[in-house]
Structure 1
Amino acid sequence: MSVDGWNTVLVLGGTRSGKSEFAESLVTDAPVVRYLATAAEGDPEDTEWATRLAAHRARRPGSWTTEETAGEPRRLADVLSTAQPNETLLVDDLGGWVTVLLDPEHQPADDVATIAELAEAVRTCAARVVLVSPEVGLSLVPTTPLGRAFTDALGAANRAVADACDAVVLVVAGQPAWLKPTVTPTATATPTATATTVPAPAVTATATAPSGMSDADVEPTPEVQLPDVLTHAPPAAPNQEPGNPWAAPTMALPMVATGLVIQPGMELPMPDEYAGPQAVDRLATLDVPGAGLGVLERAVGFAAATQGTSTPVSWGSVRVLLLHGDHSGGASAGTVAGESARRAAQARAGRGVLARLAAESGASLQVVDAPTAAPIEDQPALTPEQVESALRYGWRLAEQAADAGVQLLVLGACGAGTEAAAAAVLAATAGAEPPAVLGRVITDSGEIDDAAWMIRCAAVRDALHRTRRSPRSAKDVLAELGGGDVAVATGVLLGATARRVPVLLDGPVGLAAGMVSRDLAGQARHWCLLPDHGGHPAVRLAADVLGLTPLLDLRLDLGEGANALAALPLLRSVLSLAAALPVHPSLSGGESTGDTDEPGYVDPDDSEPDYTEPDYTQPDYRETEYREPDYAEPEPDGPGPATTGADEQPASGWRAV
C-alpha cells in the first residue's frame, strides 16, 4: 500500500469529496485489510444514516475484516499500538471518532490527552495505516457551542495525526492534492470507483526525473499521453524481515475460506469447449472477400471460449501487470546494475515503451515489486513461506483486476536474470538443456557477450546439480529456482483462471509461470494466449509444451509486456471485424445487403411467391410420413479414382469467391 515508501497516510476531504474511496484505493493491493469503523450506529429511525453506512460496507471486499471502535474512543489507539508489521489498517473516519469522544457518556475525560495518545499510537504503529478524516476548517464557524466544540476537537485531532503521519493528502472533488511531504509524489493513486478503467487524457507535462534516474533517462516530450498508472503497487521485497506484508493470512481465495490453500490438483474453470469451435465455424459464413482471417481465427476462437459465446466482442478494459523482480548471482550476468529498476520507474512515471503502448491501447498499467531471488547456484531462490505468500498475492492481483471490470490481463516482467531463471524452470519441468533455451546476451552497444552467456549457463547448471535430488513439484521449483517474479506470475495465472479472465503471455517469466501452474491447476494454460514468441528460445519451448502456438512471428523484442501490447490492436481489430460482419448473401437465404438499384439486381419477392406457413391447427392438416431417399453409390468408370480432374473446391479457404 505504501505510497513511495510512506507507511502512514492521512486522507482529508470534505463531505462527498471522495476521500473514503481514495483511501480505499490506497489499500486495494493489500492481501487483507482491517477496517476500523469509528462511527456509531446512530438513531435506528434515521434511515438516511443507515443507508450511508450500508454503502460503505458494500464497497469493502470480502477479504477485509471490520472492527467497530465506537464503543470506547481509547480503543482505536490500543488497536494501532498492538498492530503487527504485516497488517494493513484503514481507519474511517476521525470525524466519527471525535463525535464519540465528545459524547457525554465519556465525560469527564481529557480530550486533549486522548488526541495526543492517538497521535502517538499512529507515530509508533508498526502496521501500514490509512486514516480518513473530514476537513472542517474551511467551513463557517458553527453557531452552536456543540458545533464549535466538535470543529475545535476535530481540528486538533487532524493537526496531531497529520504531524504523526508520513504523508497527508487533501481530496477535493475527487482530486487528490498532496500536502505532505511538500514534494509532489511521482504518481498518485487514483480511486477505482467504476468497473472500467478509463485511460488518462493527453496532458501537458514537463519531464522530470524520478528518484534513481538521471535527467538523461527521461524523454523531454512536452505532450505526453499517459496511461492509467496504478501506483498503489504492492509492498516491496516480502522477504525482508521484520515487516513482511505478504505473510499476512488472506481470505481472498475461495478455497481459503473453507480452510484450504493453493495446492496441486485444484479444479478451476475451463473455457467454454463449444463456443470456440462455433465461433470459428461462424467465420466461414461471414461476408469476407478473401479466404478469411488466417491464423488469427485462433484469436477469435480463444476469445469466444473465454467469453462463453460464439460471437465474442473485443476486449474493452485491459490491465498490464509488470512484475519487477531481480535474480542475484550468475543468473544476472551481463546486465547493467539498476537497469530493471529504471525500467520500473519509467513505467510508474507513465513513460517508456510499455507505458506508451499501454496509453495507446487504453490499458491501465500496474507495476508489481517482487522480492529479489537469491543466487540459485548456491541456495534456494525463496523460502517456502515466501512462495506461499507470493502465490496468494498474485492470485489477489488477478482478483482485484476482475473486481475492477478488467476483461484482459497482459503479463510482463522486467528484472535482471529473468531469462536464466526461466531456463532453470524449463530444465526442471520439461527436461530442457540450459544452453538450448538461454538466449544470447546482448550488451547496450549491441554486441554479443558470450562470457556473460556462459556464466548464466553455468549458474543454471549448478542450480540443477544442487537440486538434482529435490522434489519437482510446483512449489519446490518456485522455491529452488523460480524466484519472486515467477511465483507472483503463477499466482496471477491461477487467480485469473479462477475468475475467468484471459491472459496474454509475453516473455520468459509468464511462460515459466505457465509451466509451473500445470501442477497446481492444469486449466490455467487454456486461459492464456501467446501473441508472439519474441525470438526467445525459452518462450518457444515452453509454448510448445503448453500447446500455445504463437499467433504471430514478428520477433518483437521490446521488453516483456510490450510485445503483447504491440499486437493487441490487431487482435482487437480482428474481434471487432468478426463481430460486426454480416453473413455472406449466398448463405443467408438469398438476402442481399447490396444496393437494390444496381443493374442486374432482381428482388426475390418479384421472382418467387411469398411463403405462407401452414396452419397446423386445422383439421385438414395431415402429417405426411417421412421416407428416407434411396441412395446409390456411383459406379466408377474404371479402376482407381472416378475422375482425374482438378478438385471443384479450392484447396484452402472456406469457399470459392
Structure 2
Amino acid sequence: MSVDGWNTVLVLGGIRSGKSEFAESLVTDAPVVRYLATAAEGDPEDTEWASRLAAHRARRPGSWSTEETAADPRRLADVLASAQPNETLLVDDLGGWVTVLLDPDHQPADDVATIAELAEAIRACPARVVLVSPEVGLSLVPTTPLGRAFTDALGAANRAVADACDAVVLVVAGQPAWLKPAVPPATAAGAVPAAPATRTAPVGSGPVGVDSADVEPTPEVQLPDVLTHTPPAAPNQEPGNPWAAPTMALPMVATGLVIQPGMELPMPDEYTGPQAVDRLATLDVPGAGLGVLDRVVGFAAATQGTSTPVAWNSVRVLLLHGDHAGGASAGTVAGESARRAGQARAGQGALARLAAESGASLQVVDTPGAAPMEDQPALTLEQVESALRYGWRLAEQAADAGVQLLVLAACGAGTEAAAAAVLAATAGAEPPAVLGRVITHSGEIDDAAWMIRCAAVRDALHRTRRSPRGAKDVLAELGGGDVAVATGVLLGATARRMPVLLDGPVGLAAGMVSRDLAGQARHWCLLADDGGHPAVRLAADVLGLTPLLDLRLDLGEGANALVALPLLRSVLSLAAALPVHPSLAGGGEPDQGAEEPEETEPEETEPEDTEPEDTEPEDTEPDYAEPEPAGPGPATTGADEQPASGWRAG
C-alpha cells in the first residue's frame, strides 16, 4: 500500500466521518492484511456497540487476518516492531488503544512513555502501516475528569503518531483532506517520474511540442506518467499576477490521485465577472461596445479574479488521440486518426499551423483505445481510473509550466458516436438526434455509415440499460479513453483555476461526465463555436455554455477554437487597454447632476419665503420618498412645463 513512497499513513476523522472505510480503501491492493483491532469488547448488554464491531468485521475481506491487542496496550508496539517488510498492517483505532491504556487495570503506567514507544515503533516499522484515529481537537473540552484525560492522551498520541508517519489525512464527511505532506511527492521539486518525461515546445519556434505519445501504451493500456514537478517560476506566477492565485491538488494514495464523485473544487470569482462587464459600458469606444463578446471579458475576469482581465498569452492545445472500435468508427478510413496525430507532432496540418499562428504549444496525447461498446465495456474501471488521473496530471503539468488557457482537442475515430452515447446516458438524448451526418473524404454523405453508428450506440445503450449511470460507469461502458482523459483534464484544470476552451464532441461529453465528479468544472469552460454539431449543441445547452460565435467551421476539433482565439484575445486586450470615456472620468455624472439644481426653482424661492419649514421637505424628500412625476406621462407629446429634478438617467 505504499503511498507514492510513503510507508505509514495516519487517517484522522470524527465520529461517522468515514475514516475507517477510507483507511480500508488504502489497503485493498494488498494480497494479505493484518487487521489490528484495539477496541475492547465492552459491556455485553451494549447491543449498539456490539453492532458497530460486527459491522467492522463484516467489511473485512476473507483474506484479512484479525488480531486483538486490547489485552495489553504495549502489544501494539511489539506487533509493529516485529512486522516484516512484505506485510500490510491496518490499526483501527487509536481511540480504543488509548481507552485501554487509561483503564485502571493497566495502571499505574507511564502513559507518555507508552505513547513514545508506539511512535518509535511506527517510525522504525519496515511494513506498510495504516493507522486510524479519532480527531478530538475540534470538539469542546469535556466536563468530566475522565473525559479530559482521554482527550489529552489521545491528542498527545495523535501528535506523536502524526509526526512519526510519512502521511496524514483528515477525513471529513467522507472527503479526504491530506495534511502531510501538503503537496503530493509527485509534484514536489526534484521528483523523478517513473516514465520518460513529456516534452512540450512552443509552436512557431520549431517543431510542434511532442507529448507522452513517445511512449506507446502497453497491451494492458497503461498510461505513461506525466512530469509533474514544479519547474522554475513562470512569469505568470509573480506576486500580484491574476494567475498567481492559490491552487489545489488531490491526495496521492496507492493507486494515484483520489478522484471521486462530489469533489469540492474551486469556483470562479462571482463578483469580478459582472464588475468587468459593467466596466465595459464606461470605455471610450465610438460604438455600442463588444456585443455578445462581453461574455468573454466576464468569463476571463471571473477565472482570473480581477475586473480588468488580460489576454491569455500562454496557451496549450491538448490533442487527444484514441480510436473507438466497432460500429462507432463506421465510415472512417483505417489509420486516418493516426495520420492526423502524426501530422500534429511534425508541425503540419490545420491544427499545428493554427497553433503556430497563435503562438500556442501543442501536446499530442495517446489515450487508450476503446473496445466496441455495442458488445462490451469500452474500458475497464481500472483503465478509467488511470485515464482520469492521467488527464488530471496533464492539467497540472500545464499549470506548472505557466499555461493560462487550455484548448481541448481530439482526433480519434468514432469519437462522435462515443459522445452521442455519453449524451444519451447522461442527458436522455436520442442517438439519431445527436449524431451528425458522416462525410467522406470526397465530400459525399455516407448515410449507411451513419446508420451503423446509430445502431452501435443503440445496442450499447440496450446492453447497459441496467448498469449504473455514475460518471465512472458511463466512461467505462460508453465513453472510452479519450473522453476519460478529457474528463481528468477538466477536473485538473478546475483544481488549478485554469480555464479550458472546448471544441467538439469529446470535450463536451467530458463536461457532461464531470458534473457528477465536480459540478464546478463547467464554470471554467468556454465554448467559442458549436460548429453546427448536434451533440455539441445539446451538451452546451445542458451545461449552460452559450457559444460565442456561429461560424459553423469544421476544421477538426481544436482547430475551430484556434480560429476564434485571436478574436478573443483582441477583445480582452481592447477591454484592458481602453480608458474610461472623458465624460465619465472623475465622476462626470455627479457633476452634471449637481449643476441642475442651480437651474431649478427652489434656489429662487429661498430668499422670498421666511418660513424655513417650507424648504426642509424639499431638501429631505428625495432621500426617502419617490419624487412626483414631472409631466402627464409617457403618452404625452408636449414638452414638460416643469423642470426635471434629480440625477440624469444614463
TM interval, shorter chain, is 0.5 to 0.7
Alignment check: 8 A CA contact 2:265 2:518 kept: yes
In the TM superposition, what is the alpha-carbon distance from 1:627 to its structure 2 partner?
4.8
In the TM superposition, what is the alpha-carbon distance from 1:441 to its structure 2 partner?
0.2
Indicate the residue corresponding to 2:250 in structure 1: 255
Alignment check: 8 A CA contact 1:271 1:306 kept: yes
TM superposition outliers: structure 1 runs of 4+ over 6 Å:
64-67, 247-253
1:233 corresponds to 2:223: no
1:504 corresponds to 2:501: yes
Match of 2:487 among 472, 475, 490: 490
Report SS of the residue matched to 2:379: coil
Task: Supply the distance in 2 between the matched residues of 1:297 and 1:347 (Cα, whole angstroms).
Answer: 33
Alignment check: 8 A CA contact 1:89 1:129 kept: no
Indicate the residue corresponding to 1:437 in structure 2: 434
Alignment check: 8 A CA contact 2:227 2:397 kept: no
CA displacement, residues 118-170 of structure 1 (integer Å, 9 cap, x when unaligned): xxxxxxxxx8579xxxxxxxxxxxxxxxxxxxxxxxxxxxxxxxxxxxxxxxx
In the TM superposition, what is the alpha-carbon distance from 1:586 to its structure 2 partner?
1.2
In the TM superposition, what is the alpha-carbon distance from 1:644 to its structure 2 partner?
6.7
Indicate the residue corresponding to 1:373 in structure 2: 370
Match of 1:244 among 217, 222, 227: 222
Give the counterpart letter for 1:313 in structure 2.
Answer: V
Match of 1:351 among 348, 351, 354: 348
| Gap change, CA 1:435 and 1:634, over 3 Å in 2 | same
Indicate the residue corresponding to 1:634 in structure 2: 628
Match of 2:412 among 411, 415, 423: 415
CA displacement, residues 235-281 of structure 1 (integer Å, 9 cap, x when unaligned): 4336x23x834599999983324787100100000000000000000
Indicate the residue corresponding to 1:142 in structure 2: none
Report SS of the residue matched to 2:410: strand
Alignment check: 8 A CA contact 2:223 2:367 kept: no
| Gap change, CA 1:397 and 1:285, over 3 Å in 2 | same
Indicate the residue corresponding to 1:454 in structure 2: 451
Alignment check: 8 A CA contact 1:228 1:363 kept: no
| Gap change, CA 1:231 and 1:346, over 3 Å in 2 | same
Task: Supply the distance in 2 between the matched residues of 1:432 and 1:420 (Cα, whole angstroms).
Answer: 12
Indicate the residue corresponding to 2:610 in structure 1: none
* 1:162-311 matches, cutoff 5 A: 198-201=202-205, 226=206, 228-233=208-213, 235-237=215-217, 240-241=219-220, 244-245=222-223, 254-257=249-252, 261-311=258-308
In the TM superposition, what is the alpha-carbon distance from 1:63 to its structure 2 partner?
0.3
Report SS of the residue matched to 1:63: helix
In the TM superposition, what is the alpha-carbon distance from 1:585 to its structure 2 partner?
1.1
Give the counterpart letter for 1:236 in structure 2.
Answer: E
In the TM superposition, what is the alpha-carbon distance from 1:421 to its structure 2 partner?
0.2
Task: Supply the distance in 2 between the matched residues of 1:486 and 1:632 (Cα, whole angstroms).
Answer: 58
| Gap change, CA 1:434 and 1:399, over 3 Å in 2 | same
| Gap change, CA 1:65 and 1:234, over 3 Å in 2 | farther
Indicate the residue corresponding to 1:46 in structure 2: none
Match of 2:550 among 533, 543, 553: 553
Alignment check: 8 A CA contact 1:280 1:300 kept: yes
* 1:84-99 matches, cutoff 5 A: none
Structure 1 stretch displaced more, 476-485 or 629-638: 629-638
Alignment check: 8 A CA contact 1:250 1:392 kept: no
Q: How many residues align?
A: 414
1:63 corresponds to 2:191: no
Give the counterpart letter for 1:456 in structure 2.
Answer: R
CA displacement, residues 613-636 of structure 1 (integer Å, 9 cap, x when unaligned): xxxxxxxxxxxxx95647454358
Task: Supply the distance in 2 between the matched residues of 1:644 and 1:503 (Cα, whole angstroms).
Answer: 53
Match of 2:521 among 512, 515, 524: 524
Alignment check: 8 A CA contact 2:271 2:302 kept: yes
Alignment check: 8 A CA contact 1:247 1:386 kept: no
Alignment check: 8 A CA contact 1:227 1:355 kept: no
| Gap change, CA 1:441 and 1:633, over 3 Å in 2 | same
Alignment check: 8 A CA contact 1:227 1:362 kept: no
| Gap change, CA 1:300 and 1:266, over 3 Å in 2 | same
Task: Supply the distance in 2 between the matched residues of 1:442 and 1:66 (Cα, whole angstroms).
Answer: 48
Report SS of the residue matched to 1:323: strand
| Gap change, CA 1:441 and 1:518, over 3 Å in 2 | same
Task: Supply the distance in 2 between the matched residues of 1:580 and 1:270 (Cα, whole angstroms).
Answer: 27
Task: Supply the distance in 2 between the matched residues of 1:556 and 1:401 (Cα, whole angstroms).
Answer: 27
Match of 1:319 among 308, 316, 327: 316
Alignment check: 8 A CA contact 1:227 1:364 kept: no
Task: Supply the distance in 2 between the matched residues of 1:492 and 1:355 (Cα, whole angstroms).
Answer: 20
CA displacement, residues 53-102 of structure 1 (integer Å, 9 cap, x when unaligned): xxxxxxx99406899xxxxxxxxxxxxxxxxxxxx967xxxxxxxxxxxx
Indicate the residue corresponding to 1:569 in structure 2: 566
Task: Supply the distance in 1 between the matched residues of 2:277 and 2:491 (Cα, whole angstroms).
Answer: 27
Structure 1 gaps, min length 5: 1-59, 68-87, 91-126, 131-188, 202-225, 592-625, 647-654
Report SS of the residue matched to 1:504: strand
Give the counterpart letter for 2:251 in structure 1.
Answer: V
Alignment check: 8 A CA contact 1:200 1:227 kept: yes
Report SS of the residue matched to 1:267: coil
Task: Supply the distance in 1 between the matched residues of 2:637 and 2:440 (Cα, whole angstroms).
Answer: 60
Task: Supply the distance in 2 between the matched residues of 1:526 and 1:248 (Cα, whole angstroms).
Answer: 26
Task: Supply the distance in 2 between the matched residues of 1:287 and 1:519 (Cα, whole angstroms).
Answer: 44
In the TM superposition, what is the alpha-carbon distance from 1:289 to its structure 2 partner?
0.6
CA displacement, residues 195-226 of structure 1 (integer Å, 9 cap, x when unaligned): xx75443xxxxxxxxxxxxxxxxxxxxxxxx5
Report SS of the residue matched to 2:213: coil
Task: Supply the distance in 1 between the matched residues of 2:638 and 2:285 (Cα, whole angstroms).
Answer: 28
Report SS of the residue matched to 2:365: strand
Alignment check: 8 A CA contact 2:228 2:397 kept: no
Give the counterpart letter for 1:516 in structure 2.
Answer: V
Normalised by the length of structure 2, the TM-score is: 0.59
Alignment check: 8 A CA contact 1:315 1:572 kept: yes
Give the counterpart letter for 2:186 in structure 1.
Answer: S
Match of 2:473 among 451, 473, 476: 476
Task: Supply the distance in 1 between the matched residues of 2:401 and 2:227 (Cα, whole angstroms).
Answer: 23
Indicate the residue corresponding to 2:586 in structure 1: 589
Task: Supply the distance in 2 between the matched residues of 1:496 and 1:645 (Cα, whole angstroms).
Answer: 60
| Gap change, CA 1:290 and 1:391, over 3 Å in 2 | same
Report SS of the residue matched to 1:277: helix
Report SS of the residue matched to 1:233: helix
In the TM superposition, what is the alpha-carbon distance from 1:229 to its structure 2 partner?
1.4
Normalised by the length of structure 1, the TM-score is: 0.58
Task: Supply the distance in 1 between the matched residues of 2:529 and 2:536 (Cα, whole angstroms).
Answer: 9
Alignment check: 8 A CA contact 2:226 2:394 kept: no
Which has more helix, going by share of residues?
Answer: 2
Alignment check: 8 A CA contact 1:474 1:519 kept: yes
